[in-house]
Amino acid sequence: MDLKQKLASRVSRQGPLAIDGIGSSLARASHRLSIMLALKQMSLSLGGQTMEYHAHCHCKRVRFSFRSPEITTGKRCNCSLCVRRGAVLSPAYIPDADFTLHADERDLAVYLWNDKVVRHYFCKTCGIYTYGAVAGEDGKDRYRVNLGCVEELDALALDITIVDGKALPLADAP
């Protein structure tokens, strides 16, 4: 018995009320579907699609990966450090739980300046700046990464905004 026959026999056995039953269950299903689609669209428009990104320095000794909403924008900064290194940075900090370093920490050097709160990591061999780490309010590190290190991402094609880091007060004169 195919679905059409089943429905027909249900209608004939249970009378017109069954039709309402079928109609309302269809309406419920279509309502559920439209809610699901709306939620999906909402998460997409908020950049909610989580991606797994892989990255490495120039000599590939330092590798790292991270999960993040799809990256479509980047940040550059005009502070005395950023203007010299010229990197395009991730638009947001990446939480510790979404960041993995796949490297021997001895291959990394760290640069501290100003208030010495942000640790700026770079490869000891090729000198490439890979990411900055800073402890969040929960005490766990969060990371802002050099998007130029990210595989299959054209950092210079992103929608880039300039952060006016130069205007921020310094903790002490360098």
Residues making contact with Zn ion (CB under 5 A): 57, 59, 61, 123, 125-126
The one-letter amino acid at 106 = R
- Cβ partners under 8 Å of residue 6, min gap 6: none
Nearer to Zn ion, 10 or 54 (CB): 54
Please give the helix or strand (H or E) that residue 36 lies within, else none: helix 16-45
Nearer to Zn ion, 82 or 107 (CB): 107
* Shortest reach from residue 117's CB to Zn ion, in Å: 25
* Shortest reach from residue 125's CB to Zn ion, in Å: 5
Nearest residue to the partner Zn ion, using Cβ: 123
What stretches of 69-170 show up as alpha helix (H) in DSSP?
82-85
* Shortest reach from residue 78's CB to Zn ion, in Å: 26
Nearer to Zn ion, 63 or 67 (CB): 63
18 burial (CB, 10 Å; 0-12 / 13-18 / 19+) is middle
Instruction: Supply 98's token pair.
Output: 């979404």
* Shortest reach from residue 104's CB to Zn ion, in Å: 12
